[in-house]
Amino acid sequence: MDLDGTLLRSDILYESLLSLLARNPFYLFVIPFWLLGGKAAVKRQLASRVQLPAETLPYDDRVLDLLRTTRQRPRVLCTASDHLLVQPIADHLGLFEEVIASDGHTNLSGRNKGKALAERFGERGFDYVGNGRVDLQVWARAGGAVVVNNGERLARDAARETEVLAHLPSQNGGVMTWFKALRIYQWLKNLLVLVPLLTAHRFLDPAALMDAGIAFLAFGLCASGVYLLNDLLDLTPDRMHPRKRKRPFAAGTLPLLHGLLAAPLIALAGFALALACSLEFAAVLLCYYVMTLSYSLQLKRIVMIDVVLLAALYTVRIIGGTVAIGSQLSFWLLAFSMFVFLSLAMLKRYTELASALANGKELALGRGYSVADLPLVQSLGAAAGYIGVLVFALYINSPESFELYRHPKVLWLLCPMLLYWTSRMWIVAHRGNMHDDPIVFAATDRGSQVVIALCILIVLAAI
């Protein structure tokens, strides 16, 4: 039986590569030198540096059932993946009597695999379960074939080489699975680029609306590219999370290679769109991408730097919207957004820690916080939210406010609304009812929707 794409709804080569890069992205510059030694040598270099928790990997339940019910012995796990990573998988499953895998010198794929099995069991002396066209070279020497996770065409080609005993078609996701991987719902955060339209009173300006719309799409594409990369680098932590384990790459419903190709292409599409807006906006988007990439690769694991950076990323969206429509940056808006979004970033960490505590864990997986930090995170987050409201209150009496609004005193009505909303968000989190992304919660929560609608009405009345 093959491993990658057959027994496992993933690929050990890409799993080990991503695990290594998640730990230290600078290995990206070392891997080309490993390639000089051949593919088997690269696999051994990766395998000697990473560990993949066998219990969390996405196995194909249909193939596991086939293994458990077959009367044929021995059951052999035969794969091109490196033996150092394959043996722990076989030990965990307890369903194999033997393991044959790459050893750092020979890449056990295609012709090499067929030769090894024929020498071990004789020509036509074994049945082979595989999933790819490269396995046709193995089926040419096998007594029977089971085709897994591929289409009718491969099954027909396999039938020309040997008897096809069974065909288990692919269960990979389609368009909706890609929508989930791209996290289109997270584009709600990019509505922040439209805030400058409201604060600059240019929401009726067609040119500004067009530029803001382009900025929204550019941020969305760029963010989706980073989300893909983030999910690829967080495979193991995601699989240990009660909700994140259902993400397409963690669950194995999308191939890792497809994600590795799509992530840069989608981000490049966002930059191409940004250049259609302006060079200055493209520069802001580049800063956003670098910050987000730094967060995904390393900074999300460093206490406090992670939440400050998250707050900054929200604020950069507002800066991007301002630059896109050619308005002046507002000190008050930037200060307000930084404190409010710092509060939401702390709320996100608080929710993760509360979930870890509820599951009997001491640490939030993949983060630098422990459950002992819960009271401190709560107090810092609530304080940041209230300071944001204070900044807004000071803005109301500023000269800028009197220049922009005919009735600036009406804006005082926003203060109790914002105090209520901030307090309510933290109370919901304290009671364990907060979504692990507060922005998503705010967008879907009826109380938050009412507050947002009333705030917009108050701003329009002040104008």
**Residue type at position 77:** L
Map residue 16 onto helix, strand or coil: helix
Q: Is residue 7 part of a domain?
A: no
Q: Is residue 245 part of a domain?
A: yes
Taking the C-alpha atoms of residue 253 and residue 232, their distance in angstroms, rounded to an integer, is 13
Q: Does the pLDDT of residue 366 top 70, yes or no?
A: no
pLDDT digit string, tens, across residues 19-47? 999 888 889 999 999 999 999 999 999 99
Map residue 236 onto helix, strand or coil: helix
Q: What pLDDT does residue 68 have?
A: 92
Region 63-79: what's the mean pLDDT? 92
**70 and 113 share a domain?**
yes
Residue where a domain terminates, one of 149, 168, 187: 168
Residue in the block written with tokens 């994600």:
259
**Residue type at position 444:** T
Q: What pLDDT does residue 365 have?
A: 60
Q: How many domains does the chain have?
A: 2
Taking the C-alpha atoms of residue 152 and residue 173, their distance in angstroms, rounded to an integer, is 17
Q: Is residue 5 part of a domain?
A: no
Q: Does the pLDDT of residue 343 top 90, yes or no?
A: yes
**217 and 239 share a domain?**
yes
**132 and 114 share a domain?**
yes
- For residue 459, the 8-state DSSP code is H
Q: What pLDDT does residue 198 have?
A: 83
Q: By the 8 A CB rule, do 229 and 188 touch? A: no
**Residue type at position 233:** L
More confident residue, 199 or 374: 374
Task: Residue 444: count other Cβ atoms within 10 Å of its Cβ.
Answer: 12
**228 and 350 share a domain?**
yes
Look up the domain containing 25 and give its range.
12-168
Q: By the 8 A CB rule, do 235 and 19 touch? A: yes
Q: By the 8 A CB rule, do 3 and 77 touch? A: yes
Region 438-454: what's the mean pLDDT? 89
Residue where a domain terminates, one of 135, 168, 201: 168
pLDDT digit string, tens, across residues 147-206? 999 999 999 999 999 999 999 998 777 888 999 999 988 888 888 899 888 888 888 889
Q: Which helix or strand (DSSP H or E) is residue 82 part of?
A: strand 76-82
Q: By the 8 A CB rule, do 181 and 228 touch? A: yes
Quick one: CA dihedral 360, 374, 337, 298, positive or negative? Answer: negative
Q: What pLDDT does residue 439 have?
A: 82
Q: What pLDDT does residue 413 have?
A: 95
Q: Which helix or strand (DSSP H or E) is residue 100 part of?
A: strand 98-102
pLDDT digit string, tens, across residues 387-428? 999 999 999 989 888 888 889 999 999 999 999 999 999 999
On the CB side of 68, CA atoms within 13 Å amount to 7
Q: Does the pLDDT of residue 367 top 80, yes or no?
A: no
Q: Domain with 29 in it: what CATH number?
A: 3.40.50
Region 229-251: what's the mean pLDDT? 89
- Give Cβ neighbours of residue 43 (< 8 Å, ≥ 6 apart): 13, 16, 80, 81, 82, 102, 104, 107
Q: Does the pLDDT of residue 257 top 90, yes or no?
A: yes
Q: Domain with 406 in it: what CATH number?
A: 1.10.600
293 exposure class (CB count in 10 Å sphere: 0-12, 13-18, 19+): middle
Q: Does the pLDDT of residue 286 top 70, yes or no?
A: yes
